[in-house]
Amino acid sequence: MKFRVTGTDPNSQARTGVLETPHGQIQTPVFMPVATAGAVKTLAPWELSEVGAEIILGNTYHLHLRPGAELIAKRGGYSQWTRWGGPVLTDSGGYQAYSLGATRAKSAKTTNDGVRFYSHIDGSKHEFTPESVLDIQDKLGSDIVMPLDDCPPIEASRKRVESAVIRTREWATRSIEHWQKNSYGADGRALFGIVQGGLFEDLRQQSLRDIQDLPFDGIAVGGVAIASEGKEKINKAVEYVAASLDPSRPHYLMGVGYPDDIVRMVAQGFDMFDCVLPTRLARHGVFWTTNLRQHNLMNAQFKHDATPLDPECRCRICQTFTREYLRHLYATGETLAGRALSFHNLSVTLRLMERLRESISRGTLTTDFAPYL
């Protein structure tokens, strides 16, 4: 993988860049729609292209359990199998292995070797190790691969977070060794390292040093969007490491997707984001407008509102349907409502990324949202 910075903002750490992957170039800062099990919920690949998506995210845990990486490999890899055709990032699935396995009678267990877990589908026993998750993602044909890491709850005790930082470092070292031994990056694919450390400044900084000392292609910051920890805590955990991120490598903030959070984190120097929020909120009748405000379609004010979801939005949904019509569809359980709002919310998010890139190029980036309205 090649990454080059193409522009910087004089008043912040924000920058624009280009990521070159086997399945195409990506303009950064970029938002990655989440296609957990092979599709962004309710949307077709050509619709993702229409809203401006450049890269999507798949989940190793779910794809490993079904249909299995071997089948996907036989069909040419994730991008070809799904007919998406563009770049794909896959996470390691370690967090899902632990969190979903823990809901069963036989709970998942994290050890120094990896994560042992039971399928939430049929109860079958599995194990993820730093090596095996790379093997699975190799079969998936991922452009950007994430290693196994130990991700404790954001408010875990210091002792628990210390052990997670140590284990993440050890797993990162094993991941690099396995990656290089098998020449997985020879075709241009990338392996990113993940920084942990909870809310402890010294542990965040220690984890950052651990990861950046290894030859990862990119640096991800994890453990800041796995619960309802709140924006203040997210900001604090990120600020501990943002200024020390290696400027020559792409920076990925995992799981952050509210528009206002993205704006703040772009100013902190982050290049890549992913989140299920645009489509998850859409399925619950929530839509965003280009002024970054959030609305619930079922509010009474929209019952006889013949205007578009957002009069300023240029997406196909806003050029076609009215609020009252989409509210009617949602109230009657029609699938088109969730599809329409998903399409629109992703349009708003990806248009925001475009405007952020334009602002950085002009040197006018601000966390005041006015320029993005």
Spans of all domains in the chain: 2-275, 276-373
Strands across the sheet containing 109-110: 109-110, 115-118, 125-128
Q: How far apart are CA 310 and CA 89, in angstroms?
A: 31
Evaluate whether the domain defined by 2-275 bears CATH number 3.20.20.105: yes
Residue-level pLDDT at 370: 46
The DSSP annotation for 285-315 comes to TEEE-TTS-EEETTSGGGTT--S-S-TT--S
Residue-level pLDDT at 102: 55
Residue-level pLDDT at 99: 83
Residue-level pLDDT at 153: 81
Q: How far apart are CA 157 and CA 359, in angstroms?
A: 40
H or E element that contains 109: strand 109-110
pLDDT along the chain (373 residues), means of 10: 96 96 98 97 98 98 97 98 98 90 70 94 94 98 98 89 98 98 97 96 98 98 74 86 98 94 94 97 96 94 98 96 98 97 97 96 77 47
**pTM assigned to the model:** 0.96
Q: Give the residue numbers annotated as catalytic, written as ranges.
A: 91, 274
Q: How far apart are CA 161 and CA 164, in angstroms?
A: 5
Amino acid at 323: R
Residue-level pLDDT at 100: 85
